[in-house]
Amino acid sequence: MSERMDVSQTRDQRITETLETNYLPYAMSCIVSRALPEIDGLKPSHRKLLYTMYKMGLLKGNRTKSANVVGQTMRLNPHGDAAIYETMVRLARGNETLLHPLVDSKGNFGKVYSRDMAYAAARYTEVKLEGICEEFFDSIDEDTVDFVDNYDSTMQEPTLLPVSFPNVLVNPNLGIAVAMASNICSFNLREVCETTIEYIKNPDHDIASTLLAPDFSTGAELLYDKKALDEIYRTGRGSVKLRAKWSYSKKDGCIEITEIPYTTTIEQIIDKVVTLVKTGKIREITNIRDESDLSGLKLTIDVKRGTEVDKLMARLNKLTPLTDSYSCNFNILIEGRPYTMGISDILDEWVSWRTECIRRMLYYKVQKMKERLHLLEGLSKILLDIDRAIAIIRNTEEDSEVVPNLMIGFGIDEIQANYIADIKLRNINKEYILKRLDETGKLREEIADMEDAIGSRRRVRAMIIEDLKRVSKKYGKERKTEIVYEDTQEYVEEAEEIPDYPVTYFLTRGGYFKKITPQSLRMSGEHKLKEGDELAVTFEGSNRDELLIFTDKAQVYKTRGSDFEDTKASVLGDYLPTKLGMDEGESVFTMIPAGDYSGFLIFAYENGKVAKIEKKGYDTKTNRKKLINAYCDKSKLVGAFSIAADEEFVLFTDSERAILFSSALITPKAAKNAQGMQVITLKAKHFVRSAARVASSGIIAQSRFRVRKIPAAGALIRPEDMGQVQLTLA
3-class SS at 83?
helix
- 7-11, 125-129, 332-336, 595-599: the lowest-pLDDT one: 7-11
Find how far residue 522's CA is from the centre of its chain. Answer: 55
d(CA 194, CA 472): 8
As a whole number, the mean pLDDT across the chain is 90
Residue 232 has pLDDT above 90, yes or no: yes
From 124, 151, 485, 501, the catalytic residue? 124
d(CA 359, CA 144): 8
d(CA 163, CA 296): 31
Residue 569 has pLDDT above 80, yes or no: yes
Burial of 328 (0-12, 13-18, 19+ CB in 10 A): buried
d(CA 256, CA 290): 10
> Please, are residues 30 and 41 in contact by the beta-carbon 8 Å criterion?
no
Instruction: Pick 13 or 478 by higher pLDDT.
Output: 478
> Please, are residues 418 and 403 in contact by the beta-carbon 8 Å criterion?
yes
Please name which of 654, 647, 657, 656 lies closest in space to residue 694, comparing C-alpha atoms.
647
> What's residue 8's pLDDT?
53
Instruction: Write the DSSP symbol of residue 9.
Output: G
Domain with residues 42-162, CATH architecture: Alpha-Beta Complex (3.90)
Residue 6 has pLDDT above 70, yes or no: no
Alpha helices in 496-608 (DSSP H): 518-523, 576-579
> What's residue 429's pLDDT?
73
Please name which of 58, 132, 129 lies closest in space to residue 100, comparing C-alpha atoms.
132
Give 716-727 pLDDT, tens digit per residue: 998 888 875 444
d(CA 689, CA 320): 45
Q: For residue 2, name the pLDDT band (cuts at 50, 70, 90).
A: very low
- Compute the Cα dihedral for 589, 592, 594, 598 and give only its sign: negative
Instruction: Write the DSSP symbol of residue 19.
Output: I
Interaxial angle between packed helices 343-383 and 226-235, expressed in degrees from 0 to 180 and rounded to the nearest 10: 50
Pair type for strands 482-484 and 221-223: parallel
Taking residues 512-525, report their average pLDDT.
Answer: 90
Most confident of 249-253, 305-309, 450-454, 725-729: 450-454
Taking residues 648-657, report their average pLDDT.
Answer: 94
pLDDT above 70 as % of the chain:
95
Whether 485 is catalytic:
no
Residue 229 has pLDDT above 80, yes or no: yes
- 75-89, 365-379, 387-401: the lowest-pLDDT one: 387-401
- 12-26, 31-45, 73-87, 361-375: the lowest-pLDDT one: 12-26
Give 482-507 pLDDT, tens digit per residue: 999 864 444 444 445 677 899 999 99
> Please, are residues 457 and 451 in contact by the beta-carbon 8 Å criterion?
no
Give 540-557 pLDDT, tens digit per residue: 999 989 999 999 999 999
d(CA 42, CA 62): 24
Looking at the DSSP assignment, which residues form a beta bridge with residue 502?
542
d(CA 726, CA 698): 6
> What's residue 487's pLDDT?
43
> Please, are residues 222 and 242 in contact by the beta-carbon 8 Å criterion?
yes
Burial of 15 (0-12, 13-18, 19+ CB in 10 A): exposed
Give 462-480 pLDDT, tens digit per residue: 999 999 999 999 999 999 9
> Please, are residues 93 and 111 in contact by the beta-carbon 8 Å criterion?
no
> What's residue 726's pLDDT?
44
Q: For residue 178, name the pLDDT band (cuts at 50, 70, 90).
A: confident
Q: Checking phi first, is residue 2 left (phi over 0); if not, alpha (psi -120 to 50) or beta?
A: beta
Q: Edge-to-edge strand order for the sheet containing 181-184?
A: 173-176, 181-184, 323-329, 237-243, 221-223, 482-484
> What's residue 364's pLDDT?
96
d(CA 166, CA 374): 38
> What's residue 170's pLDDT?
96
Residue 26 has pLDDT above 90, yes or no: no
Taking residues 159-184, report their average pLDDT.
Answer: 92
- 78-82, 243-247, 590-594: the lowest-pLDDT one: 78-82
pLDDT above 90 as % of the chain:
68
Q: Which CATH number fits domain 245-321: 3.40.718.10, 3.30.1360.40, 3.30.360.30, 1.10.10.10?
A: 3.30.1360.40
Beta strands in 530-623 (DSSP E): 535-542, 546-551, 556-560, 574-575, 588-593, 600-605, 609-614
> What's residue 486's pLDDT?
60
Please name which of 468, 360, 340 lies closest in space to residue 143, comparing C-alpha atoms.
360
Give 703-717 pLDDT, tens digit per residue: 899 999 999 999 999
Taking residues 327-350, report their average pLDDT.
Answer: 94
Taking residues 2-31, report their average pLDDT.
Answer: 70
Give 416-445 pLDDT, tens digit per residue: 888 888 887 777 776 777 787 788 888 999
Q: Which CATH number fits domain 356-475: 1.10.268.10, 1.25.40.10, 3.30.2010.10, 1.20.1250.20?
A: 1.10.268.10
Residue spans per domain, the chain: 42-162, 245-321, 356-475, 502-721
- Compute the Cα dihedral for 370, 374, 380, 383 and give only its sign: negative
Domain with residues 502-721, CATH architecture: 6 Propeller (2.120)
Q: For residue 459, name the pLDDT band (cuts at 50, 70, 90).
A: very high
> What's residue 186's pLDDT?
96
3-class SS at 38?
strand
Looking at the DSSP assignment, which residues form a beta bridge with residue 129?
103
Give 190-227 pLDDT, tens digit per residue: 999 999 999 999 999 999 999 999 999 999 999 999 99
- Residue-by-residue DSSP string for 379-439: HHHHHTTHHHHHHHHHH-SSGGGHHHHHHHHHT--HHHHHHHHTS-GGG-SHHHHHHHHHH
- Which helix (H) or strand (E) is 343 found in, with range? helix 343-383
Residue 34 has pLDDT above 90, yes or no: no
d(CA 617, CA 670): 7
> Please, are residues 121 and 109 in contact by the beta-carbon 8 Å criterion?
no
- Compute the Cα dihedral for 155, 159, 162, 166 and give only its sign: positive
d(CA 477, CA 427): 52
- Residue-by-residue DSSP string for 90-112: HHBGGGT-SSS-SEEEES----T
Q: For residue 50, name the pLDDT band (cuts at 50, 70, 90).
A: very high
Instruction: Pick 540 or 7 by higher pLDDT.
Output: 540
Instruction: Write the DSSP symbol of residue 658.
Output: E
- Which helix (H) or strand (E) is 278 found in, with range? helix 266-278
Instruction: Pick 274 or 251 by higher pLDDT.
Output: 274
d(CA 568, CA 588): 21
d(CA 412, CA 379): 9
3-class SS at 51?
helix
Instruction: Pick 74 or 725 by higher pLDDT.
Output: 74
Indicate the pTM of the whole model. 0.69
